[in-house]
Amino acid sequence: MTGATPEGWPGMDEHVVRPYAEAAGRTLAPLFPQPEGDVLLFAFLMAGLIGGWVLGYGYRALFVEGGRRGA
């Protein structure tokens, strides 16, 4: 498969927007700062732990303790 590398398929921002930005004397900056190293991995780990806790707490409140209140 030829052209399947990232260099072979430029995105919209690289192919269309960059020439206009360079002509206007501006540079393209990322919308959000890119984390370096394992910071992104740590953020996903924390989000998974918090999400799991919230889902587990909701499950317990709905199905385990909810059945006891009705009896």
Taking a C-beta distance cutoff of 8 angstroms, is the pair 59, 49 a contact? Answer: no
13 or 58, which is more confident: 58
The answer to whether the pTM exceeds 0.75 is: no
Is there a domain that residue 4 lies in? no
Query: What tens digit of pLDDT does each residue of 4-56 get?
Result: 565 666 677 677 878 888 888 887 677 778 788 899 899 999 999 999 999 99
Is there a domain that residue 5 lies in? no
Is there a domain that residue 25 lies in? yes
pLDDT on residue 7: 63
Is there a domain that residue 6 lies in? no
Instruction: Assess whether pLDDT exceeds 60 at residue 71.
Output: no
Is there a domain that residue 63 lies in? yes
Is there a domain that residue 2 lies in? no
Backbone torsion region of residue 38, taken as left when φ is above 0, otherwise alpha when ψ lies between -120 and 50, otherwise beta: alpha
Domain count across the chain: 1
Confidence category of residue 69, pLDDT binned at 50, 70, 90 = low
DSSP for 20-67 reads: HHHHTT-----SSPPP-TTHHHHHHHHHHHHHHHHHHHHHIIIIIHHH
Structural domain span for residue 64: 12-70
